[in-house]
Structure 1
C-alpha cells in the first residue's frame, strides 16, 4: 500500500515541469552576465586609457572666458 503511494508520488514528481522554465531563465541570465563580463574585460583597458587622455586634456586647458578684443 505504501509502495503504491510512493510510486505515484515519484511519477508525479517526474512529470512535473513547473520549475524547468525557471532553470532556463537562470541559465540564460548567467550567460548574459558572463558575456557582459567578457566584453567589459576586453574593452575596459581602452575605456580607462581614453578617460586618462580626457582628464589630461581638461587639466591642461584654461577655464573661463578670455576676450580677444582689447
Structure 2
C-alpha cells in the first residue's frame, strides 16, 4: 500500500493531461475569437464593396 501511495504521488500523467486540455481549450477559444473578428470584418467589407458597385452602376 505504501508503494502505491508513493507511485501515485510521483505519477505526472494526470498533470500532463490537464496541461494539454488547458492548452487545447485556449487554442480553440483563440480560434473562435479570430474567426468571429474575421467574419465581422469580411461582412463589413462585403457591404462596402456592394455599395461601391451599386454607386458605379448608377
Unaligned runs of 5+ in 2: none
Alpha-carbon RMSD:
2.5
Structure (1 or 2) with the larger CA radius of gyration: 1
* Structure 2 residue 24 is matched with structure 1 residue 29: yes
Higher helix residue share: 2
- Bigger shift: 41-50 or 28-37? 41-50
Q: How many residues align?
A: 53
Write out per-residue CA displacement over residues 3-55 of structure 1, whole angstroms, 9 at most, x where no aligned residue. Answer: xx2x332221111112332222221111111111122223321112323455x
| Structure 2 Cα separation of the partners of residues 24 and 51 of structure 1 | 40
Q: Provide TM-score, normalisation by structure 2.
A: 0.58
Whole-angstrom CA distance in 2 between matches of 1:18 and 1:50: 48
Among 2, 13, 20, the residue aligned to 1:18: 13
